Structure 1
Amino acid sequence: MNCEKIKQNVSIRSVLESFSLFPVKENRRTAFYFALDREEKIPSLCVDFIRNTAFDFGTGVSYDVISVVQQITKCSVSEALKYLSSFNFLLNIQTFAEEIQSETSYRILKVDEVRHPALIEYLNSRKVSEQTRWVREVHYEMDGRKYFGIGFKNDSDGFEIRNKYTKLCLGSKDVTWINNSNIMNNEVAVFEGFIDYLSFRNIESQFNLTCDCLVLNSTAMLFKAEKVLKEYLKILLFLDNDDNGKFVASKIKKEYDDVEDWSIMYQNFKDINDWYVEAKEAL
């Protein structure tokens, strides 16, 4: 990868995390970190996750992922590129921007049980129509036009919205924790999206699993769950078989003791839902 591709495709959040640097405070698009070159009590480094850049309000210096590595390690550009070459995944900044819907105005009009024929047909096409108790039918207005979709609630009271044509989040982006009992289980299963989670609900009895579940709703949201994940004795991964899924899986395997990667079960498919759909259609 050349310099420009590195700047565009390596996540600045992941680079900072590789040096054990985490935000002091954040919102959906930006976060504040302590400065890279000095100690301070009030964080002055503003990181823009969509632009994939940072700006130090204390010094007026701007950073990209290459200059971040240079500042922290005091290395040359070539040495920084060598370090960043180990980040073997791609972050689609535009997709992330669309997912978090940073400043889009919207209004939720109605939240109800899933009844609309188009939404039932969508769930049928994904072979998860038995699991409607986990989702809602959400009608909303955006930019003066009315829409509806399958809604899955996250822990910030936002809704992940899906239908045949739409993938977005209404409200704050966050993870969704599902506790299967009043007492925390020893095991937790981790999913990228709620359609994968619904697929798991259809097959969990076959594997005698009664674990808690974590739906990330985006691989970028892993940082929201890292502290709670430490409380579990075992983590079961049902992540996608793509670059982002594999990167998050490797990160979790490195940071936690007992991790089982169940993606081998659907290793020839993009995700557990693709595998489940083909398995159902083959019956």
Structure 2
Amino acid sequence: MNCKQFNSIKLEEVLQILGHLPTKQTEKEAWFLNPFAKENHASFKINKNLNYWYLHSEGIGGNNVNFMKKYLNASVKEVLEWAENQNFSSFQQQKTSNSKLENLSKNHEIIEIKNVQHPALLEYLKERNVENQTQFLQEIHYRMNDKNYFGIGFKNDSGGYEIRNKYSKICLGKKDVSTIKSNLNSVRIFEGFFDFLSFKNVENFLEKEPSNYIILNSVSMIHNIKNSLKDYENIELYFDNDEAGNRAVEMIENENKNVEDCRILYSDFKDLNDWLINKNPLNERQLKHRRR
């Protein structure tokens, strides 16, 4: 899905998928409570003829892409990834006639998959303080636009790979979440796989019991897991400390019981991996042990 196609979808349908319903509407316009913040009086208006929104309380407006960029605090690419995974009724005919959109990185060829062993990748993992968690990762060598590349690969549930190195952050194949199941009744949810790897590094230190794990690989994928969360008695959230993370936590808390926002652990940092890199609680524990 491209920007033109996404902007052609009724914004009312987009808001409905996100859980926002109009407080009042006419043939030409619809009014909503501010989707970006809490308010008591509706200040968000949609012009149905133009499919254009305007937020009176902030004096801003735009099209669907502008709205989702702000709502998810995401890039245009991430917005389109999210849109591609939704079931918009007003886009079904276009979607079925354009099957080429199946892959996010279409013009690629995976050349080799092996254990992580390249010195540059091992050094990168060391910089992120997760060098001892390579059992969850693979080294992916691939070709794109007639050039060869390699990176750390983290597999998702659709067989695609999140690829990371010092200079690249892409997805090869279909974008999806990654699920690690243990047949338990609890689940921990992470925004990205470096946060998951960071947690595995400190799981014992935090005295946490084993659990199921869901890695979104982008906060825009949160709608793909909404139904599956009903199966869990306990849900722990480890999202980023930003507006998109706040909205994701609020969305899950509103629809589920026994939800714990675990960001207090790293409240002074951008995310869990940032906390591990800069605070490094494992080193603090070792230092205390040496002082005894």
Instruction: Give TM-score scaled by structure 2 length.
Output: 0.69
Residue in 1 that maps onto 2:78:
96
Is 1:154 aligned to 2:156, yes or no? yes
Q: Write the letter of the residue equivalent to 2:118.
A: H
Q: Distance in 2 between matches of 1:227 and 1:99?
A: 19
Superposition deviation, residue 192 in structure 1: 0.5
C-alpha contact 2:180 2:214 (8 A) present in aligned 1: yes
Q: Distance in 1 between matches of 2:162 and 2:12?
A: 30
Residue in 1 that maps onto 2:271:
271
Paired-residue identity, %? 37
Superposition deviation, residue 240 in structure 1: 0.6
Alignment: residue pair count: 226
C-alpha contact 2:141 2:151 (8 A) present in aligned 1: yes
Q: Distance in 2 between matches of 1:226 and 1:66?
A: 18
Q: Matched residue of 2:227: which SS?
A: helix
C-alpha contact 2:25 2:31 (8 A) present in aligned 1: no
Residue in 2 that maps onto 1:79:
31
Structure 2 gap ranges (5+): 35-42, 46-54, 58-66, 83-102, 285-292
Residue in 2 that maps onto 1:6:
none
Instruction: Give TM-score scaled by structure 1 length.
Output: 0.71
Alignment of 1:72-221 (within 5 A): 73-75=24-26, 77=29, 79-80=31-32, 82-83=43-44, 89-96=71-78, 102=104, 104-180=106-182, 184-206=183-205, 207-221=207-221
Q: Write the letter of the residue equivalent to 1:117.
A: P
Q: Distance in 1 between matches of 2:163 and 2:4?
A: 21
Q: Distance in 2 between matches of 1:225 and 1:67?
A: 17
Superposition deviation, residue 79 in structure 1: 3.0
Residue in 2 that maps onto 1:53:
7
Q: Distance in 2 between matches of 1:232 and 1:67?
A: 27
Cα distance change, pair 124–276 in 1 and its aligned pair in 2 (3 A): same
Cα distance change, pair 245–139 in 1 and its aligned pair in 2 (3 A): same
Q: Distance in 2 between matches of 1:49 and 1:223?
A: 20
Superposition deviation, residue 170 in structure 1: 0.3
Deviation string, structure 1 residues 188-244 (Cα, Å, up to 9, x no partner): 000011000000001111222211100011111112211211100010000111111
Q: Distance in 1 between matches of 2:138 and 2:277?
A: 21
Q: Write the letter of the residue equivalent to 2:180.
A: I
Which segment is superposed worse, 165-174 or 91-100?
91-100
Cα distance change, pair 103–274 in 1 and its aligned pair in 2 (3 A): closer
Cα distance change, pair 205–68 in 1 and its aligned pair in 2 (3 A): closer
C-alpha contact 1:176 1:217 (8 A) present in aligned 2: yes
Superposition deviation, residue 119 in structure 1: 0.3
Superposition deviation, residue 161 in structure 1: 0.4
Q: Distance in 1 between matches of 2:30 and 2:225?
A: 34
Q: Write the letter of the residue equivalent to 2:202.
A: I
CA RMSD of aligned residues (A): 3.0
Q: Matched residue of 1:137: which SS?
A: strand
Deviation string, structure 1 residues 142-176 (Cα, Å, up to 9, x no partner): 11111000000000000000011111100000111
Q: Write the letter of the residue equivalent to 2:190.
A: F
Q: Write the letter of the residue equivalent to 1:74.
A: Q
Q: Matched residue of 1:162: which SS?
A: strand
Alignment of 1:8-27 (within 5 A): none
Structure 1 gap ranges (5+): 1-28, 30-47, 56-62
Residue in 1 that maps onto 2:49:
none
Superposition deviation, residue 98 in structure 1: 8.2
Q: Distance in 2 between matches of 1:49 and 1:261?
A: 33
